[in-house]
Amino acid sequence: MEHRKKLIHVTKMPIRWGDMDAYGHVNNTVYFRYMEQARVEWIEAMQVPVRPGGDGPVIINASCTFLVPMTYPGEVEVKTYVGAVGRSSCQTYVDMCIDGTVYAEGAAKVVWMNTQTGKSVPLPEHVRAMLEAE
């Protein structure tokens, strides 16, 4: 299923020797770390501190489809896209590429939440404006 999505962040990170598993390729759990780091960089670029307390983004689901095994050495480019934007959430998608080839595709739903109450809160206006800008 094709989703409307807009590129919102690009970052590169090295594939570390310790990212690999006994099969000689990047362990599946590490792909989620790559997505997490890219997401934190994107959120902080929007002037939203990723710290405990108050309102902030949390992930309510995440997925990854592994297309081609990654190996050390290398550098992965992580492209983050936003899809549907709701009252308190947005759907994100990720492509993890090496030399222009997509090695994995991921997704995560980001919800703004009050960390004291555990309840969702509206997206901050400046975040919504960035996500909805054409």
pLDDT for 88: 97
- Which of the 8 DSSP states describes residue 124? P
Per-residue model confidence as pLDDT tens digits over 27-36: 999 999 999 9
Per-residue model confidence as pLDDT tens digits over 42-68: 999 998 877 777 899 999 999 999 999
pLDDT for 36: 96
* pLDDT-derived band at 3, boundaries 50, 70, 90: low
Q: How many CA atoms lie within 13 A of 104 on its CB side?
A: 23
Tell me: pLDDT of 2 over 60: no
Across 17-37, average pLDDT: 96
Tell me: pLDDT of 1 over 50: no
All domains of the chain in start order, with CATH = 6-132 (3.10.129.10)
N-to-C CA span, the chain: 22
Element (H, E) at 32: helix 28-45
Tell me: pLDDT of 16 over 90: yes
- Residue 127, phi then psi, degrees to nearest 5: -70, -50
- Which of the 8 DSSP states describes residue 44? H
- Which of the 8 DSSP states describes residue 47? T
Closest C-alpha to 77, from 51, 104, 98, 52? 98
Q: How many other CB atoms sit within 10 Å of the CB of residue 35?
A: 24
Per-residue model confidence as pLDDT tens digits over 83-124: 999 999 999 999 999 999 999 999 999 999 998 899 999 999
Three-state DSSP class for 113? strand
pLDDT for 110: 97
